[in-house]
Structure 1
């Protein structure tokens, strides 16, 4: 049984291989065409997603690419997230290809294929137009990056700092790279392969005149998985220039930090900027076995999956990796774990598993898939979720077709078509079969002329049955989930199975015959999972399943998002966290207090335990993925009575103060953070940003930064003020103008250390009747680090 993936031998002939779909790049995976989902939650979600994809206006999704090339435009531009035009279009190509490969409804499959072919035809026209351009540097290009010609011409000429004047252009273009690759990989479209390689050649030429140092200096900005797609191009063609490009696009700051096992490297860093880089590290490692790339990928995975992931399977706050002492922010923030992060962590987990075959990668995959990914699809509308807050009694927002066009809409389009991708995997020699996930499905193992049928209602039943329809000798490896706590059991044809444990899998090698049945018992029980680094809060797990509770449907403002820039954030009332249900008592009694109501639906109640703020309605625990259109509990305060009495005065007073400030806040920016600043259309010259004492800042040094902010004044004459936050020990000056009029000058002279909030009144005439105002912070000297900017009601 081989545990290493053998890629290099014969790589050059892979381009003309007759193999279909993702096995062409991932030869240990089965093609989606070979894995059919049978009745169950995942099949339902996949079929809904297929229908939703066809509701999108493909012409509008192709418009950014057409507009940049100057060809006839097929639709109007989307207003939502202007400046990142094209990123969802790339995801859409991947989603169509994935859903086409997965679909078993022939009429639907035909429609998906026709839509995919139409989009590829438009992209072909775009690339043809660029190929005819007088500037040969643009030959091969396909992209929706606004001002594509100016940006890439300046970048290629050595002006690499221009990346900071655009909104993540390489992240944007990575999506169309991935879309073209996937149209070939999953749907077998050879025209997409041709366009992909042409775009790769353009990318190689783009960086051809740059030094490694110049490229490295631009990689602090989010660039998606550029290293991954160039590694793929190398595997597809055998041309070493693409592997060289993959290495050049591998951020050495992160590579070296992770290879050296320095977890602090990614503290206070934008999470989904880093995860795709590491997917690329693993792809490079798979192709040339560079030790530092493999070590970096594995340490990063272990740190994020083991230390930074919360019960739902996600890992960020406001899109950033917090330090350990800031994990309380998971409880207070409404910008919880981001779906794109989990989408990319699943890719990384799958990739490393195919090299190492260790069950811990599949355990993580299962928990994130069943809890986070499944929960991000609305079961009726098919809308996608961006942030999933862990804040007690808050809620999620769902996208609407052709309105909200977030990054997590793009990755969401892909998620629900790929459920069959990692249920099974096989060895390079096709002599071993791994069963990684317990999902009702039918596998056509063509290489062995064998069908495996998996019949299960897991997790609603704690078991699965595998029926072999074929014959021959091979090793069957069934994952032994960590959450079974040693109670895992397996029979073959009704007799207790004898198996070897291999990296967390139960391995049986035998001559199989038609009709052999393997029954797997997967005992589940309730366990308490404390929040990492802030253990006063706990979540409930039943086996791998996160249990939550609904807490009301009041004031779900923006539940179904419009096309506004901030529509992805659940902006309704933030309820005081001390009005949430709280579990007061000894923790070692808590799991036993959870009693089943209906195990066939996985519903539970809590009995015989002191619950503060229980409410009039009974608290019912249920799978978190089934909670929609409601406020909810994911994490619960759980302390003993003695600690609760100590907390009541101090902690509740602090929360009351925070709530009072939030109630007065009209708009605010977490300065120095990518999404908050992008959502407010930041412009800047001569500034720097970073973190200090676990808070983020931006600092103008003989320069300025400008935000477009909502003054809340269009229909509200309430007096307003401007609030700035700075570090008391800092020195420097910043002047603030609103629409060209000076509001204040803050001169910090270095005083008592600690964060300081200062508030300045704003002349009502300056705001009256306005929907947006430009808030400009400038300095003609040393400057001052500003940690947030708020417009408040006085």
Structure 2
């Protein structure tokens, strides 16, 4: 049986009721402990040379992330706390970090630098993290407001709460920025071992817990009701997630109670019933919200939250995602099933404002939370798709510059020159590449991603080295460097995209495997030093139909989304600028593919000397265009979606399309 993205959509629709009754969040099923796996922290996984992930991480380690000045990041905090600035520091970073998101980059930087210190062993970033934490603690002490810490005054929260005469001073989404600061502090504690960071974050949590507790239910509902605006001024980020993370450290129930104040019945209840009310909502507001919902559910097994977070993931991935795993048009969720048709953005078709990077940054976090409770390969398949084809593709391989949107149809990327939200999540992304490759629970290890790396599984005493770049067609080799003292199970993912017989050898000896796509191969034994596992995962060309138009397709080779090179016609001299700088420059036309079949192998030929690139042949107007991985195609126009006429009709021939 063959599957298409449209058949998957139909199956997903059938699985959910057309209507549901929103439940009172106070009526919860008895908690059931979650049997959780854990991702390895960045200090236990090192990226090895030989992949685009290592290249981009090094660009940020030595360039982009290294270029930030901690004292400039502290400028607005010191100004509010009336502490002196360091010599030569006359202002903070231009753009959003000095405007309505004042101070958010400091939180992002703490998260990025803490992880980079752990992921690469960099003492420079460790020292910067410790310096920033000490200075933020000094600002918190100088403010002397019961633990309050921010780069803006409490008037921003007074205005949000509706206090007469309150003036936020241009601050738009105060809880969003508070979350970034708190998350950065908790990352400093987790990855650098900074106890002071935990103390500062705890005092912040206590302040906001008390502040919210003083409000009545109507006030809280008004503050956190976010379905009235596509870009809500009360966006609250992942406050639930960071407060739950704090609870997991200190076991203070007040922090979990405060976290759940951000789980609103109007949103969570319908999700638990499988309703799709996402159209028109601000995507990143609610992805971050559900990330916290999933985290809290994993803590105590809250049945409603477990169901709601799982349903949300399925709805986004199967009804609201583009081919690269990204979501949103101009930051909003579109209506269910819209992909290549008229969009929520004034009816435009595939405008240049598709797939905000922050969304996928948080979708990866949510996916990891779900994998903790349910180790199914489908989750890892999506994680791989979104990581390779959106998060990795959002970073320029020559400079490390980052993007806000990822366009798909005749446009080009704009590389950010300011302190946008996607700049903040962008500097975190490269330091997070180490995470998500491996998960563990008891004596079992899951290898979810095939990225050259070395794992030090300290609890089991095992060191495992992984080699081979699957994006270039390499086989995967796993070498047991240090075996540990007991038998363990290695679960090797068989991706959904495999296009032939999977083969497995241990120490050169073929092993019998029944390797179905989107499953795991389980290998249990007492491993020995020097054991070698060789895994071949055959990749093939395939196309995927858009959910709403069978004649619009995207092209893949194995896990990699291919993009067609369309040149620099009409582009500015520099593609660096404001996130909206070039949105009014028209896209160039994308030629149709006119081929004899719906099988891309009939009209794509390998480019000699480049195992990841192909050239159109016998494809009508598209002839001669080179396609290569989207993550490798930068500084020019490109196409990800194509109109296909196969065998004289628009739309692929039956049976030619494989499942997303």
Q: Equivalents in 1 of 2:188, 2:111: separation in Å?
A: 6
- Mark the CA change 1:241 to 1:599 in structure 2 (over 3 Å): closer, same or farther: farther
SS of 2:487's partner is strand
Name the residue aligned to 1:140: 147
Name the residue aligned to 2:15: none
1:628-667 correspondence runs (5 A): 628-639=634-645
Q: Equivalents in 1 of 2:167, 2:219: separation in Å?
A: 12
Name the residue aligned to 2:25: none
Deviation at 1:251, TM superposition (A): 2.4
Name the residue aligned to 1:382: 400
Q: Equivalents in 2 of 1:276, 1:363: separation in Å?
A: 21
- Mark the CA change 1:44 to 1:165 in structure 2 (over 3 Å): closer, same or farther: closer
The question of whether the paired residues in 2 share the 8 Å contact of 1:32 and 1:102 is answered with yes
Name the residue aligned to 1:544: 559
- Which among 255, 259, 276 is matched to residue 242 of structure 1? 255
1:416-431 correspondence runs (5 A): 416-427=430-441, 429=442, 431=443
- Which among 340, 359, 371 is matched to residue 341 of structure 1? 359
The question of whether the paired residues in 2 share the 8 Å contact of 1:387 and 1:569 is answered with no
> 1:596-631 deviations in whole A, cap 9, x for unaligned?
12475311112122226x5xxx31111110011111
1:125 correspondence with 2:134: no
- Mark the CA change 1:6 to 1:498 in structure 2 (over 3 Å): closer, same or farther: farther
Name the residue aligned to 1:49: 60
1:112 correspondence with 2:125: yes
> 1:9-36 deviations in whole A, cap 9, x for unaligned?
9xxxxxxxxxxxxxxxx97222212211
1:754-765 correspondence runs (5 A): none
Name the residue aligned to 1:20: none
Name the residue aligned to 2:210: 205
Name the residue aligned to 1:283: 295
SS of 1:469's partner is strand
Name the residue aligned to 1:535: 550
1:467 correspondence with 2:479: yes
Tell me which of the two structures has the higher relative contact order, counting C-alpha pairs closer than 8 angstroms and 6 or more residues apart: 2
1:96 correspondence with 2:113: yes
Q: Equivalents in 1 of 2:148, 2:573: separation in Å?
A: 38
Name the residue aligned to 1:225: 238
Name the residue aligned to 1:605: 615
- Mark the CA change 1:512 to 1:241 in structure 2 (over 3 Å): closer, same or farther: same
Name the residue aligned to 2:416: 399
The question of whether the paired residues in 2 share the 8 Å contact of 1:460 and 1:599 is answered with no
Name the residue aligned to 1:37: 47
Name the residue aligned to 2:511: 497
- Which among 354, 359, 372 is matched to residue 390 of structure 2? 372
Name the residue aligned to 2:606: 596
> 1:340-369 deviations in whole A, cap 9, x for unaligned?
001000000111101101111111111111
Q: Equivalents in 1 of 2:189, 2:37: separation in Å?
A: 15
Deviation at 1:555, TM superposition (A): 3.0
Deviation at 1:326, TM superposition (A): 4.7
Name the residue aligned to 2:76: 64
The question of whether the paired residues in 2 share the 8 Å contact of 1:558 and 1:572 is answered with no
Q: Give the length in aligned residue pairs.
A: 597
Q: Equivalents in 2 of 1:175, 1:561: separation in Å?
A: 25
Deviation at 1:206, TM superposition (A): 1.1
SS of 1:470's partner is strand
Gaps of 5+ in 1: 10-25, 132-137, 646-794
Name the residue aligned to 1:526: 541
1:315 correspondence with 2:327: yes
Name the residue aligned to 2:587: 575
Q: Equivalents in 1 of 2:416, 2:369: separation in Å?
A: 29
Name the residue aligned to 2:192: 187
Deviation at 1:569, TM superposition (A): 4.5
Gaps of 5+ in 2: 1-30, 227-233, 344-348, 652-660
1:254 correspondence with 2:294: no
Deviates more, 1:116-125 or 1:192-201: 116-125
The question of whether the paired residues in 2 share the 8 Å contact of 1:251 and 1:277 is answered with no
> 1:555-587 deviations in whole A, cap 9, x for unaligned?
32374434xxx44453362135xx322113465
- Which among 466, 489, 496 is matched to residue 482 of structure 1? 496
Deviates more, 1:344-353 or 1:300-309: 300-309
Deviation at 1:69, TM superposition (A): 2.5
Deviation at 1:154, TM superposition (A): 5.0
Structure whose CA Rg is larger: 1
The structure richer in strand per residue is 1
Deviation at 1:492, TM superposition (A): 1.6
The question of whether the paired residues in 2 share the 8 Å contact of 1:499 and 1:507 is answered with no
- Mark the CA change 1:432 to 1:332 in structure 2 (over 3 Å): closer, same or farther: closer
> 1:383-434 deviations in whole A, cap 9, x for unaligned?
11101111x221001124xxx111000000000011111111111x2x1111
- Mark the CA change 1:8 to 1:341 in structure 2 (over 3 Å): closer, same or farther: closer
SS of 1:476's partner is strand
**4+ long deviations beyond 4 Å:** 5-9, 154-166, 498-503, 640-645
The question of whether the paired residues in 2 share the 8 Å contact of 1:528 and 1:591 is answered with no
Deviation at 1:324, TM superposition (A): 3.9
- Which among 375, 379, 390 is matched to residue 357 of structure 1? 375
- Mark the CA change 1:599 to 1:312 in structure 2 (over 3 Å): closer, same or farther: farther
Deviation at 1:77, TM superposition (A): 3.1
